[in-house]
Chains A and B, each alone.
Chain A
Amino acid sequence: MRPDEDDLDEEIRGHLAISIKERIERGEDPAAARLAALKEFGNVTLTRDSIRRVWRHRWYDDMEALARDIRFALRALLRAKGLAVTVVITLALGIGANAAIFSVVRGVLLRPLVNRDEDRLIYIRQGAPGIGAENMTFSVPEINDLKSRASTINAFGDFSTVDFALNGLGGEPRMIKAGVVSGSFFDVMGLRPVLGRLLNAQDDGPEAAGVAVLTHRFWTTSLHADPAVIGRTIRLGARSATVVGVLEPSVPYPADTEIIANVVTSPHHMGALMVTNRSHRMTELFGRLAPGVSLEQARAELTSVHASIIRDHPESYASKDVHLTVAKLRDQIASPARTVLLILLAAAAVVFVIACSNVANLILARSVRREGELAVRAALGAGTGALRRTLLAESLVLCAAGAVLGIALARPFVNIVARYAARFSVRALEVTVDPSVLWIGTGLAIAAAVLLAYVPRLPSSHAAAGLGLANGSFRITSSTKRRLRVFATTQIACSFVLIAGAAMLVATLMAIQRANTGYNMHQVLAVDIPTQATGVGGANDINFYEEVTRRIGQLPGVEGVAVGNFVPWRDAGSFGPEIPFAVEGYTPAPDEENPRARFRIVAPRFFAVLGVPMLAGRDFTSDDRGTGEPVVIVSQSLAQRLFPDSEAVGRHLWWTDPYFGDQKVLRRIVGVVADVDDESVEPRPAMTVYHPVRQIGAAGRLFVHTATDPYALVPPITHVIRELAADQPVARPATLEDVRAEVLSPDRLNAFVVSGFAGIALLIAVVGVAGVLAFSVSARTAEFGVRLAVGANRANLLAGVLAEGVWIASMGIAAGAAGGYALASLTARFFSNVEVPGVLPLMGAAAVLIGAAVVASLMPAARASRVDVLQALRSE
């Protein structure tokens, strides 16, 4: 049907041949006939083209026109390289940041878990936020009650975390984190093995053999995915277990452990304390919704069951505040990261707005310079559509380049953001750049391109008026100038919000870092030397620790050694909530709950080793042992609060928590030490009660005060310990300074990421302000020339341009402050922990922006003051 090119040629050739033949037959000269035939035919190429066009689709012409426009745009942009590069980089930053953040948000908050039917998988938590116990976990009797009374839950899975000394997988003895679970756990979680089998009901009970499942991360990173590990026997502390399988990759929750083992591997789990004591809480609880039951129904039932459990056993609930929360596991895992990620998303959006307004500015300025050219084209008959298409082609080229670069940038961005977000949600670790990035990048680029194509004003309506501009000079109309300023002000305003936010974070971080902790931070080395049999203290352990202390004390460079049970900050939260106690001579009011204090175990000389001053009384001695009088040392806050008018030393206190049994053990206060806050890196007064290690039991943490480089002592310390016990793990040696730095690293990362955004914003804003001013100066060259000619001072011109820059910045800051305040009060309604920044960070942010504006104005201002009068006047 459709003729090919040869057909077309032959048809035309045939036409000419017939025409010539007819003319010759009529008696014309052959040469003249040929010429006449060709003349009659007209333009052969044009005819062939119009025939071809008949066979084409209608949009082919439009595409061809656009392709022509794009080629034209490419050539035009090659002549304006500086502008093109600026626009592309600006857009790439905006698009890349958004694509990256969105990838992480999608991966962490929106993507379903690998767990089978994860929609039915719920996480149940018992907590009392009022006493600082967000997560109290459950005791075994509580779990049994919930199991027997709840009907909305098909099956419960429990999980408790213990530390084991692991031997038998090669290498040094090491400490590992293990999950101890009942047989129903994996079925409830809906997880599968990649190798071997998982645990089931046959692995429950005291008669079962010890078995363990390796987590995928541990298997691949530490064991190089060796399949031969199945069937191996490993030693976990005092017990042994057989490796039966490897778990599929899944979100490690509630704890990132190396192995997950059955109950029989942990002597502690088999003990009476664990099985019968209602207050001995260390187990996390999961459940699977029964068919047809909604989350709300399950929540309602579990809450009422929980209330009835509390009614039945009031003695086990020291606070009235204890309550149950029930959430889908996916939401539970995502929730800590939600706020952070949404804030990042907002920051990325702000960066995109800044990038777009900056690019809009540059494009606007460019289009004003091109007004002459556009006017000529309009006068030659180009319609509004054609002119818009020209502009669209140019912005498409720019935005496409920006998007490509932005998507390339997204990969490193995602890595940074994912590592950052991993502090809040383990799911972030699995986030990679996914194809959605492409769509987001493309979408943003198209949005930007269309926006940009409609920013400039078209000259078509006053084509004749515009022709005068065709010779290369140009003017700015007041509307263009207003638009330029609006865009520049928007950039400053958005940057201000980001910079103020970053300044606030940095100020908070610096305040924390400068805070005096009360410890000797640089010369004290903290080492984990956990007890062999987990959680069970005994005389052997105590003797072991005393011997370790004695031998390490003899090492050269060691000034003091002591054991304790708690490395400041690193062990934060591991001892649960503060524990209620009572003191003699202080009767709480009927409605008042007992005071609460932290429970710590330390050896003699602990305070001296860590640099905490004794304020009154005496330190523990080796005579404070199990058979002697129970004694304690208290912190200054506790002494002042409970004994405001008298001496604390010599008085007695006792723990009232049911965990300590029914017997009231009076403990005499023998000393008072200065306050230290070992839970929070932001020091606050803390009520703490210290017990001598020989009276309470296990310690597990070694503190060494050194005269020289603390880390140089790690090998000899390890050597000394291994001499005493070859299987003893010696883990995580670090100075208190470094422990604190590690705990602070999320805060630092927070400040770093937001500062990064603020930096990008500042950079773009500076470019924006400089661009606007440079443009305005070059448009006013003639004006400056005239002013100089009639005797204006060059310094005045310079000051005028600088003032314009500062004025734009001030307007932006004012708008940003107003917008930021509105935003803060808006977010405060949704997030509880929004803080309005102090005055200092705000002033700092404003100063930075004004400074940046001045810097940005300097170049254009200098150019304005150097205008050559004659040149300027001639150009008009």
Chain B
Amino acid sequence: MAKSRDEQRLELLQGTLDMLILRTLQWGPQHGHGIGQAIRARSDELLKVETGSLYPALHRLVKQGWLKAEWGVSEANQRARYYRLTAAGKAQLSREQDRWSQLVDAIGRIMNPAPESKE
């Protein structure tokens, strides 16, 4: 069927979903479906979040106090649960972003070593 497109898709790295959700919500409150669509769209369809992972992750973040959930009405006039970043969530996001940059940097050095460091 749509095998070629599926094969193109990337697996999410373990532990990065929370960060992506927090980052997505930086642009404003959003409901679950919207968050999933946003991640997909911004990754040029390369990342697709399964609802089976997305919703437990959202609830986990609410439980930890990084998100706040409230009922609202979507642009399509549908009642939906909107998630909003809390102050603690913002702090957590910047922590995770830092760690992510360090990780990318470190992995990058190993995978693409600069000529002088090899010497």
A interface, CB within 8 angstroms of B? 1-3, 7, 10-12, 14-15, 17-19, 21-22, 40-43, 46-47, 50-51, 53-55
Contacts and interface: CB of A to CB of B under 8 A. Distances in A.
Interface in B26-43: 31-34, 37
> What 7 A-B pairs have minimum CB-CB distances, sorted nearest first?
A14-B80, A50-B56, A54-B59, A11-B81, A18-B33, A21-B76, A15-B33
Task: State which size class the interface on B falls in.
Answer: 20 to 34
A14 B31 contact: yes
A7 B81 contact: yes
Contacts of A40: 51
B63 A54 contact: yes
Given A3-B69, A15-B32, A50 B80 contact: no
Contacts of A42: 50-52
Interface string B71-112: 000101011110000000000000000000000000000000
A19 B76 CA distance: 10
B81 A17 contact: no
Given A3-B69, A54-B60, A54-B63, A17 B78 contact: yes
B62 interface: yes
Contact of B52 (A19, A50, A54): A50
Contacts of B79: 10, 14
Of A14, A19, A55, chain B has the most CB atoms within 10 Å of the CB of A14
Nearest to A44: B51
A47 B69 contact: no
Nearest to A42: B52
B28 to A, nearest CB: 16
10 contacts: A1-B62, A1-B63, A7-B81, A10-B79, A12-B55, A15-B51, A18-B74, A18-B80, A21-B76, A50-B55
A47 B78 contact: no
A14 B81 contact: yes
Contacts of A2: 63
Contacts of A17: 76, 78
Interface of B: 31-34, 37, 50-52, 55-56, 59-60, 62-63, 69, 74, 76, 78-81
Nearest to A24: B76
B79 to A, nearest CB: 6
Contact of A18 (B52, B63, B78): B78
B63 to A, nearest CB: 6
B56 A14 contact: no
A65 to B, nearest CB: 19
Nearest to A2: B63
B9 to A, nearest CB: 13
Given A10-B81, A17-B76, A18-B76, 19 more contacts: A1-B62, A1-B63, A3-B59, A7-B81, A14-B31, A14-B74, A14-B80, A14-B81, A15-B32, A17-B78, A18-B34, A18-B80, A22-B76, A41-B51, A43-B52, A47-B55, A50-B52, A50-B55, A50-B56
A414 B33 CA distance: 68
SS class of chain A's interface: helix, strand, loop or mixed? helix
A51 B33 contact: no
Contacts of B51: 15, 40-42, 47
B17 to A, nearest CB: 13
B78 A46 contact: no
B59 A55 contact: yes
Given A14-B79, A21-B76, A51 B32 contact: no
B52 A47 contact: yes
Contact of B55 (A21, A22, A51): A51
A18 B77 CA distance: 9
A15 B79 CA distance: 9
A43 B52 CA distance: 7
B77 to A, nearest CB: 9
Given A40-B51, A55-B63, A47 B80 contact: no
A346 B62 CA distance: 59
A41 B55 CA distance: 11
B1 to A, nearest CB: 11
B82 to A, nearest CB: 10
Contacts of A7: 81
Contacts of A21: 76, 78
A18 B80 CA distance: 9
Nearest to B81: A11
Contacts of A15: 31-33, 51, 80
A16 to B, nearest CB: 8
Nearest to A48: B55
B63 A46 contact: no
Contacts of B55: 11-12, 47, 50-51
A53 B79 CA distance: 24
Contacts of B52: 42-43, 46-47, 50
Contacts of B37: 22
Contacts of A22: 37, 76
Nearest to A21: B76
A865 to B, nearest CB: 62
A517 to B, nearest CB: 86
Nearest to A53: B56
A21 to B, nearest CB: 5
A3 B70 CA distance: 10
B31 A54 contact: no
Nearest to A16: B33
A7 B32 CA distance: 13
Contacts of A10: 79, 81
A374 to B, nearest CB: 32
Contacts of B34: 18
Contacts of B56: 47, 50-51, 53-54
A687 to B, nearest CB: 92
A320 to B, nearest CB: 86
Nearest to B79: A14
A17 B69 CA distance: 19
Q: Among B32, B33, B34, B50, which residue has the most Cβ atoms of chain A within 10 A?
A: B33
Contacts of B78: 14, 17-18, 21
